[in-house]
Amino acid sequence: MCGIIGYIGNRNAAPILLEGLKRLEYRGYDSSGIGLIKRKRLAVYKKEGKIAALERTLPKDISGKPGIAHTRWATHGQVNDINAHPHASFDNRVAVVHNGIIDNYAPIKHKLKQDGISFRSETDSEVIANLIARHYQDDPEVAVQNALRQLEGTYGLIVLFTDNPDLLIGARNGSPLIVGVGEKEMLLASDVSAMLAHTKQVFYIEDRETVVLQKDSYKTVNTENSVVDKTIEKIEWELDEIEKGDYHHFMLKEICEQPETIQRAYGGGGRLLPDFGTSKLGGLNLGKQDFFEIDSVITMGMGTAYYAAMIGSYLLEHMARLPCKAERASELRYRNAIVKKNMLFFAVSQSGETLDTLSAMREIQHRGGRVLGICNVVGSTIARESDGGVYIHAGPEIAVASTKAFTSQVTVFLLLAIMIGRMRDIPASLGKRYINELTTIPGKIAFILERKAEIEQLAEKYSKARSFLFLGRGVSYPVAMEGALKLKEVSYIHAEGFSAGDIKHGPIALVNEETPSLFIAVEGETFDKTLGNMEEIKARNGRIITITNSDNERIRELSDDIFVVPETNELLSPLLTVVPLQLFAYFIASILGKDVDQPRNLAKTVTVE
């Protein structure tokens, strides 16, 4: 989704902004642009396509300060140079980069046109630049405040004033905005990775706040124009974490990081209490008594985070004996959802900025419900606005397709389920077994990763298939869904995940020699039933690839290909079975020459509905 960055300070803004744009690339975009002030003149460069295309259009000696820049993910208006940001006002006194959607842009545009102002682009964002310019007499801050009063919708924006190069103004409503405080310089961006090379000292702008930046000062005000105090926080991420290192793609790097990221999710042991067979999680803001009073749980998220939420629900029901349900946040938000005193909600989000999840969380809170966040990005909006929560500490996830965040989210749900379960239903001996088993998972994943060449061979063999079915039961059903999502996202091959038990109720009609079925068959409650479903596919000449932890003759007979993951408890098995599926999607996409890290049409952080 769109990314924005602004710089004010003594240095030439151009290389800083270009580097920032490259750090924002991972979010997904279709055009980019830079606006700079040089000798009190506004210079804007923008280009459809990759940042490399923008770079080719820039003068070799490009310089100027302050400056703003943008990666656009089109919503209003086609993907072309004109619709790219920054957008300059009719009189070139104001330039704006904008994330979000202005809902009432059409009537404002109509009115401005009636006043004789002409527009160059089809975007909603150009309206902001013209509206601010219309209000701009001599005070930039007042002009921005007056314009914002007229806008409805979501925005994270940065405004540059051609005749006032000593300041940059930012404002936020619904789209993230973070200020980076440097040595006699300030940065403003939608994402900390865009500023990490320059400063780790940041503070967060909240909805309906406006920030005025000068190179050595900042001032944040709310809608009443009262100054808001900000606490500067330190970003924990290191620069090498947002770089590819020796890997060709971030996706492979992040898949391979999972032994460490899972360990970080259980706190390297710090969140585990092996002697009591349980876990301890700070930050939940719930007392022991509260856990006895909870009578049901709803977990919510979108995409991969939703599949982690499904597993979370499964684990909480099984271990903590609580009625649980996973919901897609986008559906929950608009239903007349039941919210009761003793219900507990979990909002799962890697970025902590997904608007569907954030909006559902706010709706639940508005109705008096209590929502805990399970987030990766520290200081993200969901993390800040939730009533408590747990960070997964997976480190920056740059590839658009989520991998390591998924296994870390599942790990955190395991900790929660063990903790609540131990209070309600699980004896210490069983809790200890789960905890011990969890600590063996990183080693087992490392073993799977050592055998990634086997998955690459499978990918070679099946890369010509045009459609795949992914099938699993019980806790492996969300894994099947996640495997299918990964494959379609990065390879553009059609893939559907189903509960294996459901296939004979319809999806089996899709089975033929050309459509392979990928089964996740894990020993436990539904293992035999899953084998029965494999028989059904086999009887219809479907090819079967099986990911299993059970290497026996029957499963080998039924499977055309098999990948055996190490033995583990069924409840922990998603942490292992998902890894070959991630690798399968990665290798197929690579073999087909797809843009693995930035698949078409996708954005890393979806900040629009």
- The span of 86-94, 158-166, 296-304, 560-568 binding ligand F6R (CB under 6 A) equals 296-304
Total residues contacting ligand F6R (rule CB under 6 A)? 15
* Binding of residue 277 to ligand F6R (CB under 6 A): no
Q: With beta carbons less than 8 A apart as the criterion, state whether 466 and 493 touch.
A: yes
CB atoms within 10 A of CB 238: 12
For residue 288, how many other CB atoms are within 10 A of its CB? 7
Residues with Cβ < 8 Å from 8, sequence gap 6 or more? 65, 66, 166, 167, 168, 185, 186, 213, 214, 215
Cβ(426)–Cβ(271) below 8 Å: no
DSSP string, 376-396: SSTT-HHHHHSSSEEE-----
For the record, the structure tokens of 61 come out as 């000696």
Quick check: 349 binds ligand F6R (CB under 6 A)? yes
What is the H or E stretch that residue 438 is in?
helix 428-450
Nearest residue (CB) to ligand F6R, 29 versus 527 = 29
Choosing from 31, 145, 199, 354, the residue that interacts with ligand F6R (CB under 6 A) is 354
* Near ligand F6R by CB under 6 A: residue from 357, 499, 549, 598: 357
Least distance to ligand F6R, CB of residue 151, Å: 25
Using the rule CB under 6 A, which residue among 25, 30, 185, 489 binds ligand F6R?
A: 489
Task: Kindly state the smallest distance separating residue 403's Cβ from ligand F6R, in Å.
Answer: 8
Choice between 354 and 546, CB closer to ligand F6R: 354
Q: How far apart are CA 170 and CA 185, in angstroms?
A: 15
Beta bridge partners of 50: none
CA angle 230, 235, 241 (to 5 degrees): 160
Minimum CB separation of residue 353 from ligand F6R in Å reads: 7
> Pick from 350, 386, 548, 598: which binds ligand F6R (CB under 6 A)?
350
**Residues forming the active site:** 2, 604
Q: Does residue 330 bind ligand F6R (CB under 6 A)?
A: no
User: What are the angstrom distances between the C-alpha of 515 and each of 59, 64, 530, 558?
Assistant: 51, 56, 18, 16
Query: What residues form DSSP beta bridges with 179?
Result: 188, 203
- The Cα 70–Cα 18 span in angstroms is 10
Tokens coding 353: 């900025």
**Segment lying near ligand F6R (by CB under 6 A), choices 179-187, 208-216, 350-358, 581-589:** 350-358
The nearer residue to ligand F6R, 173 or 598, going by C-beta atoms, is 598
Question: Which C-beta is closer to ligand F6R: that of 318 or that of 488?
Answer: 488
Closer residue to ligand F6R, CB minimum distance, 45 or 586: 586
Query: What distance in Å separates the CA atoms of residue 520 and residue 209, rounded to the nearest whole number?
Result: 48
Residue 306 CB, nearest distance to ligand F6R (Å)?
7
Min CB(450)–ligand F6R separation in Å = 24
Q: Is 606 in the site for ligand F6R (CB under 6 A)?
A: yes
Which of 302, 315, 383, 448 forms a contact with ligand F6R (CB under 6 A)? Answer: 302
CA 231 distance to own-chain centroid? 25
Which residue number, 68 or 192, has a Cβ lying nearer to ligand F6R? Answer: 192
Q: Side chain identity at 315, as an amino acid letter? A: L
Contacting residue, 189, 401, 410, 479, with ligand F6R by CB under 6 A: 401
Shortest gap between Cβ of 425 and ligand F6R (angstroms)? 30
Q: Are 380 and 402 within 8 A, CB to CB?
A: no
Half-sphere CA count of 105, side-chain side, radius 13 A: 21
* Structure-token match 């480190």, residue found: 395
Contact between 278 and ligand F6R by CB under 6 A: the answer reads: no
Of the pair 123, 380, the CB lying nearest ligand F6R is at 380
Of the ranges 25-33, 40-48, 301-309, 543-551, which one interacts with ligand F6R (CB under 6 A)? 301-309
Chain positions contacting ligand F6R, by CB under 6 A: 302-305, 349-351, 354, 357, 401-402, 485, 489, 605-606
